[in-house]
A and B are shown apart, each in its own frame.
Chain A
Amino acid sequence: MTGAGAYALLALPFFVVVAVVAVVAGVVAARRARAAGRPASTGRRPALVTAMVAGIVLLVMTIVFDNVIVTLRIVAYDPALISGAKIGAIPIEDLAYAMAAIVLLPSLWVLFDRPTGPMAETGSMPETGPTPETGPTSETGPTSETGPTSETGPTSETGPTSETRPTSETGPTSETRPSQEEEPTR
């Protein structure tokens, strides 16, 4: 690969993969919704809005982070192989990673949900689809951090819980993913 378009061109096949995975995730989510007796479009809009909002935040974070590591010369680019369009110190093509991530990873999250076990499209799915892995900790009480889910380590039950409680309107833990759309919890 040569020329100023090389870095942009590199992203292309990966974007194609991301798009395919996203479409498949959308189809699977629609089937699950239908199997649960809801419109196939259930959860589509929240999922898209979430990706937009989270994507903007992620892009901002990426611009800051990448500017730091490029300025520190941890990573460098062949000036002949990038477009030359920059945001601060970073080539604009760098943003492709974040753009791919915000679509690919939530799509994978949807695909790897196994509501009943084998594969998703069978008809008998529980409404909110608590996955086998989440077990009892998924929707329930706030104090169960020590439970079976704490495989990622020791930080779980420590300090942060004692700090500012997000009493506002948030509390994202009490609900499921936008892509699988749940009944109102309140």
Chain B
Amino acid sequence: MPGLYLAGLVVSLVGMTVLDARFRLFFWRAPWRAAVVMVVGVAFFLVWDALGVAAGIFFIGPQRLLIGVLLAPDVPLEELFFLLLLCYTTMNLTGFVGPVVSRRLRDAERSRS
């Protein structure tokens, strides 16, 4: 069913946004800074994709799940959403794990001394 993949990506992105808002992980910590990180990150991975496609390494398979809009040959619109999800997930994870790790290390430090 065309659109299924995009729908899955959008649902995931909404989930990431909810987590971000709830725990103040990324955009809810510094919106402009987060936006710049996202733009640079997605651009970086789009270049990677473009080179991979140009080299013939990967391409769109014989599926019926994409909506059919292409950003470039063999780069579907969905890839943009995928990369947004990859970057957002990465930064939400880092934003969540970071403080926990910091606290654990500090507690360990304290109990040693």
Which one of B41, B52, B102 has the highest number of Cβ atoms from chain A below 10 Å of its Cβ? Answer: B102
Per the bound structure, the CA–CA distance linking A109 and B36 in Å amounts to: 9
Within 8 A of A (CB), among B67-92: 78, 86-87, 89-91
Task: Return the chain B residue nearest A45 by Cβ.
Answer: B105
Per the bound structure, the CA–CA distance linking A184 and B96 in Å amounts to: 17
With A54-B93, A134-B30, A178-B102 as given contacts, are A112 and B37 in contact (CB-CB < 8 Å)? yes
Contacts of B55 in A (CB 8 A): 1, 6, 10, 81
- Cβ contacts B16-53/A at 8 Å (1 or 0 each): 01111111110111111111110011001100100110
Q: How would you classify the secondary structure of chain A's contact residues: helix, strand, loop or mixed?
A: helix
A-B contacts counted at CB < 8 A amount to 205
Contact of A74 among B17, B60, B89 (CB under 8 A): B60
Contact B44 A14 (CB under 8 A): yes
Task: Return the chain B residue nearest A101 by Cβ.
Answer: B90
Within 8 A of B (CB), among A135-167: 137-138, 145, 149-153, 155-161, 166
Which one of A73, A75, A102, A182 has the highest number of Cβ atoms from chain B below 10 Å of its Cβ? Answer: A75
| Shortest CB distance A12–B (Å) | 11
Contact B57 A173 (CB under 8 A): no
Name A residues whose Cβ lies closer than 8 Å to a Cβ of B: 1, 6-7, 10-11, 14, 17, 45-47, 49-51, 53-54, 57-58, 61, 69-70, 72-78, 81-82, 97-98, 100-102, 104-106, 108-109, 112-113, 131, 133-134, 137-138, 145, 149-153, 155-161, 166, 169-179, 181-182, 184
With A10-B51, A101-B86, A108-B40 as given contacts, are A50 and B22 in contact (CB-CB < 8 Å)? no
Contact B86 A160 (CB under 8 A): no
Contacts of A105 in B (CB 8 A): 37, 41, 87, 90-91, 94
5 pairs of A and B residues whose beta carbons are closest in the complex: A73-B61, A76-B61, A173-B24, A172-B99, A175-B99
